[in-house]
Chain A
Amino acid sequence: MYQVVFSQGKQIYVISELVALVCFKVVGEFWNLFQIGMFFRNSAEAVIMNSACIFKGLGFSPPAHSHNDWIGPPDKHSNLRPVIFYVPPEESPLERRLREARQEAQACDQRFWARHNRTFRQEKEEFIYSRLKAKGVEMRDETGQKATLNVEEMADFYKDFLSKNFRKHMEYNRDWYKRNFTITFLMGQVALARALRWLRWKKKKVGN
């Protein structure tokens, strides 16, 4: 019985050892999975980000091997050039903050200028139409060409438009200066962090 107990104890010991081993392995596996998950989250984000630009109507995705941002042709409405930001797999929180700030700034600028330019075009058309009507001229002449006013006649419209949008421009200016300084400052911090990281890596390499 002693021996049976002992052997049973050994069995229990072995079983408990096995259980502990399995537990460790499972935890280890979960940790690996977690790390892999984080990596995939970043890469998935990158893929989503890149595919999102196709959905956003940009219709372009940078080549997979590129590690830089890509800048495109000027937008039809806002005349600003869209940027597709590169998301590195090991993006630090600071770099993430910079990228998000730049994305937000780009979105804000795009919204403002697209709306502003559209308003300008619409109001210009209305002004031309009303002036031509007052003059008694048709919108299109015999050749089918659109009738326009010359610059001197448009001067009233330009003056009016500028004074109407003065406050809007003041607010946009203030925001733009703030965003510009923040982004440039963040860029400086990121550049500094990268430089320090490179120096540390260099020192380690030299040390080895």
Chain B
Amino acid sequence: MSAARRCGPPRALAGLFVWHLKNTGIRQVPCQFVHLCRVANNRLITFQYFNFLKRMYVTQYNKDLSQRAKPKSDSVASPFCDLQQLDQEKKVIHKIRPISPVHQPLSKTSNRNELREMKSAAETEDSVTRVRAESKEDRQWKEMKLRLDDLPGILARLSKIKLTALVVSTASAGFAMAPVPFDPTCFLLASLGTGLASCAANSINQFFEVPFDSNMNRTKNRPLVRGQISPLLAVCFAASCGVPGITLLTLGVNPLTGALGAFNIFLYTCCYTPMKRMSIANTWVGAVVGAIPPVMGWTAATGSLDAGALLLGGILYSWQFPHFNALSWGLREDYSRGGYCMMSVTHPGLCRRVALRHCLALIGLSTVAPVLDITTWTFPIISLPINLYISYLGFRFYRDADRSSSRKLFFCSLWHLPMLLLVMFTCKKSFLEKEDKGDPLGESHGRAMEIRLP
């Protein structure tokens, strides 16, 4: 029993094992335990605790609670051990294993002993849970090393790929609505250029906002906040997206689209992002940022800034307000703590008024579309139900000013825009019809034929 006396309190369990096994008359196993204690005595306390973590895996073995060391499942390098210690632990495991089958043919003394073991196990459980909690926190520490297979996911999150996809779809809607023959190459180049420009703008936005993003629930899992990518790499990625994107738009499509793209990147990164923390006017600037992509799509197709482009831009501009104001209504605490100047925090009445105003403006703009010869008169009629519905939700938000009405308005805006653009596209006034209308003489047919051929 000298082995048990020599071991300290955390090693009490090992001592108990020795005592128990001695009672059952197994002589050769205690020697191994004595050796284990001696071995453990020479090591650092961390090793001993770690060893204990292994021994505390109590497993059910044939309806009998016995202790069996289970090897650690994850092979990720834990901060506690290095390779040397791992080998030693493996050796120790082999020593413990032969004990568990011994528990089988036990007498009534064994039950008492097991109870005692479990009691002492509960005592040491506290220290072990503390150590386990510490090692759990240690597992949350990550090496700041960029792994190539993680890179695509990280860059997708850095460039806010879903938002970029929405932006590209609005730009392609602008392209599709333009009254010119559809040019697939130009369409693809314009979409790609817009997508790259959007990626660049979003990356720079995240680069500028790291500590603010850490403090808001919505944005605390962004790549720069989590340290998955360095700021230098984020800026390089933005440059490598932005420069080719704008060049593609300028040279591959037309200079006007390229200029609009560059202006949009500047507006988003250098005007909207800093203004978010300075004045509530940032919402209006942000609405312009959202309105420019369909204008870019239109200019990519036609090469000029017509009334149609401005109307499409106007529809997107008006849509931004119910969308963003409803979203920001639920984030007031985070905005207030983070220092963001948003209407929902500083001027709540204005926030709701503006949202309602722009819902109603959408009805008006949909009516103007056939006047400008972009769509037929069926468009305002078919789009009236959805426009009325969003206006109704805007009115409810204005009147009730609570979380449920803001959420309803936000989710409605998410499907309202794609549906509106789809209806607009289906009601698009064919440019052949326009040609016929413009020229009552028969020669227009020939010209129409010319235009139809690629």
Contact = CB atoms under 8 A, between A and B. Distances in A.
Interface string A170-208: 101100110010011001100100000000000000000
Interface string A89-121: 000000000000000000001000100110010
B214 A68 contact: no
Nearest to B346: A159
A80 interface: yes
A55 B220 CA distance: 27
A161 B338 CA distance: 10
Given A70-B143, A71-B144, A61 B79 contact: yes
B401 interface: yes
A63 B145 CA distance: 14
A152 B333 CA distance: 11
Given A79-B215, A80-B211, A158-B332, A73 B141 contact: yes
Nearest to B80: A63
A72 B140 contact: yes
A32 B328 CA distance: 65
Nearest to A184: B231
Contact of B333 (A68, A80, A154, A166): A154
B275 to A, nearest CB: 11
Contact of B339 (A59, A72, A169): A169
B403 A184 contact: no
A71 B228 CA distance: 9
Contacts of A3: none
A68 B145 contact: yes
A158 B277 contact: no
A65 interface: yes
Q: Give the residue among B143, B335, B336, B348 with the most A Cβ atoms within 10 A.
A: B336
A71 B142 contact: yes
Contact of B403 (A61, A81, A151): A151
A70 to B, nearest CB: 5
B341 interface: yes
Contacts, number: 122
A184 B234 CA distance: 10
Interface in A116-157: 116-117, 120, 151-152, 154-155, 157
A152 to B, nearest CB: 7
Interface string B32-61: 000000000000000000000000000000
A6 B274 CA distance: 89
A162 interface: yes
B370 interface: no
Contact of B82 (A64, A169, A173): A64
Contact of B346 (A59, A109, A163): A163
A158 B345 contact: yes
Contacts of A69: 143-144, 227
A113 B215 contact: yes
Contact of B220 (A62, A72, A74, A78): A74
Contacts of B225: 81
A31 to B, nearest CB: 35
Contacts of A74: 214, 220
B378 interface: no
A46 interface: no
Nearest to A73: B140
Contact of B227 (A66, A81, A169): A81
A163 B340 CA distance: 10
B144 A177 contact: no
Which 9 residue pairs are nearest across A and B when measured between Cβ atoms?
A158-B336, A71-B227, A169-B339, A187-B232, A73-B140, A69-B144, A68-B145, A72-B141, A162-B336
8 contacts: A71-B142, A73-B140, A79-B214, A120-B336, A151-B402, A158-B333, A169-B339, A184-B231
Given A68-B145, A81-B227, 12 more contacts: A60-B141, A62-B141, A62-B143, A65-B82, A72-B140, A72-B141, A81-B225, A113-B214, A151-B333, A151-B403, A152-B402, A159-B346
